[in-house]
């Protein structure tokens, strides 16, 4: 594939997201400095609510607080939680494991009820939980993973089956993985591919949602199965007819995506209700 102009690609993503409706108004939306100088954005209700840290997607190289602002507003409004979005450092300027370390630092600092992320954000969210687990530190009570990356080797069948013509192309995925993990040996390291970590015990209760026409579908499903086998309580669902990134604004043009969003919100509210 042609090597993308990353500066241009980032601007295109920002411009596309800037054309979407703002999302629900909330009593409090503010940016403030977090651990290590990371910028965080709080979506609050003016009173204490369970805190959900949100980690945006973008193939490790794209996205920021603004690209996922509408998504975070909708989660906060629909689920009655306070959302804390993380502006973690991006590859290739900051390759692995920087993003994992950034998210883990925020989880240590905020001690949230839950962590959530879409695509690469889901990958960073669950690996940050594993970092805390391995360090003997407390992990959030829940994790919500939406179309997550879980296998840097890109060897699952859906990468080939759905990796052309459905929005997330296999060639782009391979390029993005290279930006995140420049050395091939890194991509074989189980600690950088959650699906390959031998022991997944100790992870939080999980909601994991994939999409039928997503190149990452099979690695998400396999990760859900591995967690279930490790004794983790997992709610898994593959959304029929949808593509990767459906959580990002597709409700505006697709009734099927809008219904899928509502199911995610129901899942999150159920996790809140079930948490002691």
Of the candidates 214, 218, 251, 261, the residue annotated as catalytic is 214
Of the candidates 56, 68, 244, 261, the residue annotated as catalytic is 244
To the query of whether residue 68 is one of the catalytic residues in this protein, the response is no
In whole angstroms, what is the distance from residue 159 CA to residue 164 CA? 9
Of the candidates 87, 119, 193, 251, the residue annotated as catalytic is 119
**DSSP codes, the chain:** -PPP-HHHHHHHHHHHHHTS------SEEEEEE-GGG-EEEEEE-SS---EEEEE--STTTS--TTTTHHHHHHHHHHHT-EEEEEEPPPTTTS-TTHHHHHHHHHHHHH--SEEEEETHHHHHHHHHHHHHHHTT----SEEEEES----TT--SHHHHHSSSSSSS-HHHHHHHHHHHS-SHHHHT-GGG-GGG-S--TTPPEEEEEEEEE-TTHHHHHHHHHHHHHTT--EEEEEEEEEETTTTTTGGGT-HHHHHHHHHHHHHHHHHHHH--
To the query of whether residue 214 is one of the catalytic residues in this protein, the response is yes
In whole angstroms, what is the distance from residue 50 CA to residue 220 CA? 26
In whole angstroms, what is the distance from residue 177 CA to residue 21 CA? 31
**Residues assigned a catalytic role:** 119, 214, 244
């Amino acid at each position: 594939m042609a090597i993308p102009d990353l500066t241009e690609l980032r601007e295109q993503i920002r411009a596309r997201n800037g054309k979407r409706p703002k999302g629900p108004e909330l009593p409090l939306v503010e940016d403030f400095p977090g651990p290590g100088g990371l910028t965080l954005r709080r979506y609050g209700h003016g009173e204490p609510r369970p805190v959900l840290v949100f980690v945006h997607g973008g193939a490790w190289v794209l996205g920021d607080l603004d690209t996922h602002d509408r998504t975070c507003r909708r989660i906060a409004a629909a689920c009655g939680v306070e959302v804390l979005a993380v502006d973690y450092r991006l590859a290739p300027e900051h390759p692995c494991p920087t993003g994992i370390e950034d998210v883990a630092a925020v989880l240590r600092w905020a001690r949230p009820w839950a962590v959530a992320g879409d695509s690469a954000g889901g990958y960073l969210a669950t690996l940050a939980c594993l970092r805390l687990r391995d360090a003997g530190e407390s992990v959030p009570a829940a994790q919500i993973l939406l179309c997550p990356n879980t296998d840097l080797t890109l060897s699952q069948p859906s990468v080939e089956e759905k990796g052309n013509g459905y929005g997330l192309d296999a060639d782009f995925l391979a390029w993005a993985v290279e930006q995140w993990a420049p050395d091939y040996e890194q991509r074989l390291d189980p600690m950088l591919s959650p699906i390959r970590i031998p022991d997944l015990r100790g992870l939080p209760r999980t909601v994991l949602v994939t999409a039928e026409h997503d190149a990452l579908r099979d690695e998400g499903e396999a990760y859900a199965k591995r967690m279930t086998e490790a004794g983790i309580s997992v709610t898994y669902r593959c959304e029929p007819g949808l593509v990767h990134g459906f959580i990002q604004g597709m409700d505006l043009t697709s009734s099927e995506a809008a219904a899928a969003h509502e199911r995610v919100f129901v899942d999150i509210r159920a996790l809140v209700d079930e948490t002691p």
